[in-house]
Amino acid sequence: MTVVALNQLIHATPGFLQRLGHSIATFLDGISEARAMAERFKTLSRMTDSQLAQHGLKREEIPQAVLGNFGRN
């Protein structure tokens, strides 16, 4: 019985590690995207109203612009 259980564990391990690796990669991608969004928000927030207008934005539209930009990726 122990040999059967060990055999199943050995065959299941690569799939488990692959799923674990994929989950970690997805998590890290999410962190990277969040950091990029925060940086974009900071950049836009530091602009003057006239600079924002040159980009076709109003100050109150910054959050939607940041979210919209990353939602399409």
Q: Each residue's pLDDT tens digit in the chain (73 positions)?
A: 577 776 777 777 788 888 888 899 999 999 999 999 999 999 999 999 999 999 999 999 999 999 986 655 4
Question: Which phi and psi angles does 72 have, rounded to 5°?
Answer: -85, -10
Q: Are 43 and 66 within 8 A, CB to CB?
A: no
DSSP string, 40-69: HHHHHHHS-HHHHHHTT--GGGHHHHHHHH
Question: Quick check: pTM over 0.75?
Answer: no
* Count of domains for the chain: 1
> What range defines the domain where residue 49 resides?
2-71
